[in-house]
Structure 1
């Protein structure tokens, strides 16, 4: 028992290592938080604190990590880039009108290197050749567009 009281830091380090390796199997980010608590217990043991204080510090650090750090890490790991596939990735892009667009006549635009049929999003708009438009929606093979206002210099 003398060895354990003199080398409590080694016991805490062993616990932290075991929890760290077990985390590699679970990947829940719970055991690693407990391992951080064990590391705090190890630091407390290195400073020569009594075993009761070591246990309290280790438990407090582990609880703090579980309550404060883990939720933000889990949220960050579970969010990813928004994957927009198909025609939805074209919504919001700008295009150039290659054939006049009116509410009655479908025109054409040059969008992402391709020619698309286009109609005005607002059926009362008339969009002239060469105007820059923004794609608001795509239904079937027709892009519904709105003119982008141009600043006069």
Structure 2
């Protein structure tokens, strides 16, 4: 029994796909797509072994050359979306109870928070707007 070349390319693509899942190396996925391209050349166009290998190399190299720099650029950028307490830093709050170095209360993002002043000598009166500098536990540090 003689198995066609395109079947071997698909077996190789499946093996590379399994390697991608196991190792999480995106390059293996790009090589798998190259193997599918070689299988297509073999199965639909009847290309010889040299044409199949050229298709594999060209498609795999092109994907790695184009996709990898884009993925690196996305990975190196800081996320633009912040959540949790990080999203509260830099927001403005309204003083509900006098805030000084010992404590107080503010309304921040629709919720009542305990707060204390960043500077020991500063105090903020009821109704005054303050900026949240940091969050320590359940206490907002304001100025």
User: Taking structure 1 as the reference length, what is the TM-score of the superposition?
Assistant: 0.63
CA separation of 1:92/1:66 partners in 2, compared to 1, >3 Å: closer, same or farther?
same
1:116 aligns with 2:115: yes
Matching residue of 2:22: 25
Structure 1 alignment gaps of length 5 or more: 146-153
Matching residue of 1:69: 67
CA separation of 1:41/1:144 partners in 2, compared to 1, >3 Å: closer, same or farther?
same
User: Taking structure 2 as the reference length, what is the TM-score of the superposition?
Assistant: 0.66
Q: Take 1:57 and 1:33, find their aligned partners in 2: how far apart are those partners?
A: 13
Structure 2 alignment gaps of length 5 or more: none
Task: Name which of 32, 36, 39 aligns with 1:39.
Answer: 36
Please tell me the root mean square deviation across aligned C-alpha atoms, in Å: 3.6
Task: Name which of 44, 58, 66 aligns with 2:56.
Answer: 58
Q: Which has the larger radius of gyration?
A: 1
Matching residue of 1:14: 11
1:129 aligns with 2:129: no
1:59 to partner: Cα distance? 0.6
- The answer to whether the Cα contact below 8 Å between 1:119 and 1:142 also exists between their aligned partners in 2 is no
1:75 to partner: Cα distance? 5.9
Matched residue pairs, number?
132
CA separation of 1:114/1:16 partners in 2, compared to 1, >3 Å: closer, same or farther?
same
Q: Take 1:76 and 1:89, find their aligned partners in 2: how far apart are those partners?
A: 21
